[in-house]
Chains A and B, each alone.
Chain A
Amino acid sequence: MTPVLDVHGLAYAYPDGHQALFGVDLHVHRGERVALLGPNGAGKTTLVLHLNGILAAGAGSVAVSGLPVEKANLPEIRRRVGVVFQDPDDQLFMGTVRADVAFGPSNLGVAGAELDRRVMSALEQVGMEEYVDRPPHHLSFGQRRRVAVATVLAMEPEILVLDEPSSNLDPASRRELADIVRSLDVTVLMVTHDLPYALELCPRSVVLSGGTVVADGTTYDVLTDDALMRAHRLELPFGFDPRTAMPRP
């Protein structure tokens, strides 16, 4: 079966010469929820920006459901890959929630009743349908994060890429977002430093460090491999032990 995400030997150096990725290989299959872990500066964001063609590969290739990420395919690639950025204020820039959620599908040429249907269905999936006519900057941070997810769901993506979805959320909003992510019928790649969140939501984890993939396995195995964790600056929060947090998968 063609993987939803097929990254092969991806390398990239920024124009200033700083090399961020040194040959990354990553496959994500349909229906998987995968956590992308790694210390600050590991190249996680750089990798994410390659998945929808914002950055173009220096070497290697990225394909989404078999379609290579290259200039001619960008509109379709951006429909297939929905990226939710870390700061919802970056993602929500229109005057109303409705206009913001409609932005993506409108760019794909969706209009009229179908557009309304997509907007409402995306907002229902994140439980924000009653805020459809509110300006985004009047919402709470947690609500804005959920609307940001809806803006991407409205494009009916094949893979949802979440960049630090739990950052700056209070515990209740964090849990609500987890419930939402679990309820979605979509492949998820989640970039996070929140290791308990990764364990809770993602059966599989990939560790990116120094621009390469250094581990790929079940989240439980990754988080309980003390040597690996120490070598790549990954630390569990105080008092958290995956061995007691949930039964061994």
Chain B
Amino acid sequence: MGAGHGHTLHFHGHSPVHRAPAHLKVLALLGFMLVVVATPRDWYAAFAVYLAALIVVVGVSRVPPTYLLKRTVVEVPFVLFAVLLPFVATGPQTEVLGVSVSQHGLEAGIALLVKGTLGVLASLTLAATTEPQDLLVGLERLRLPQQLVQIMAFMVRYLDVVTDEMRRMKVARESRGFSARNPRHWPVLARSAGALFIRSYERGERVHLAMLSRGYTGRMPR
């Protein structure tokens, strides 16, 4: 039963990057992202410097680069958008590989791709080197409102439970010969998603009851 070991984003280690206080890492990430986003999009040398800095941090953390690269797939929707930009944007046209595309669109697409990739890699590095629990403590130390930290703590706690439930529902569906091969099967998936939502909602109610039963009055103990 749902006794997973560690979160899939976290890579266990004892490097200086792993040991650095979580709130400093969060601040560093935030600063890095702001600088990356604020850099004019045609300063390519600056982006090369950012990337180099990131590579040094990853090197010190001893997290295998392939480990991070595999997880950059979350970026795919943005990549698609970035690739579309040169074709949908208007303005002066330019030729790339014999195809006429928008000059502005091309530049915007490349900038989006570069900035997005840097951001995703930096966030993954933070996630790989920081236990979720420490991250929450770090955010608390940064004076993030209690309610937000609590909501995140519950998310971290129940992520495994809910994905486990989702996996069991999938196994149960497939055990009865179902597989989502074409759009005709989507309504079944939608109903499963609905059922998962209801179950999670009801679990939320039960957790709340269990909290009330131990004297919860709306404030988490410190």
Give A residues with C-beta under 8 Å from B.
Answer: 49, 52, 54, 75, 78-79, 81-83, 85, 87, 89-91, 93-96, 102-104, 106-108, 135-141, 151-152, 155, 168
Contacts and interface: CB of A to CB of B under 8 A. Distances in A.
Nearest to A81: B213
A94 B153 contact: yes
- Counting chain A CB atoms within 10 Å of each CB, the highest count among B132, B154, B210, B222 belongs to B210
Interface string B195-207: 0000000010011
A160 to B, nearest CB: 12
B156 A95 contact: yes
B154 A93 contact: yes
Interface size class of B (residues with CB under 8 A): 20 to 34
Contact of B3 (A49, A106, A137): A137
Nearest to B214: A104
A83 B213 contact: yes
B185 interface: no
A93 B157 contact: yes
Nearest to A55: B209
Contact of A90 (B2, B6, B207, B216): B207
B126 interface: no
A108 B219 CA distance: 12
Interface in B10-61: none
B212 A95 contact: no
A96 B213 CA distance: 19
A49 B205 CA distance: 13
Contact of B215 (A78, A95, A137): A78
Contacts, number: 86
B203 A90 contact: yes
Contacts of A81: 213
A95 B221 contact: no
B189 interface: no
Nearest to B160: A137
Interface string B150-177: 0001101110110000000000000000
A155 B211 CA distance: 13
Contacts of B217: 75, 107
A95 B211 contact: no
Given A104-B214, A108-B215, A155-B214, A138 B153 contact: no
* 3 A-B pairs with least C-beta separation: A106-B221, A107-B215, A104-B214
Given A94-B153, A95-B157, A107 B216 contact: yes
14 contacts: A49-B209, A54-B212, A90-B206, A90-B207, A90-B210, A94-B157, A95-B133, A137-B157, A138-B3, A139-B3, A140-B1, A141-B1, A141-B3, A168-B1
Contacts of B222: 106
- Counting chain B CB atoms within 10 Å of each CB, the highest count among A89, A94, A138, A155 belongs to A89
Contact of A85 (B132, B209, B215): B209
A52 B213 contact: yes
Contacts of B136: 95
Nearest to B203: A90
A220 B133 CA distance: 49
Contacts of A90: 203, 206-207, 209-210
Given A85-B206, A89-B2, A54 B213 contact: yes
Nearest to A135: B133
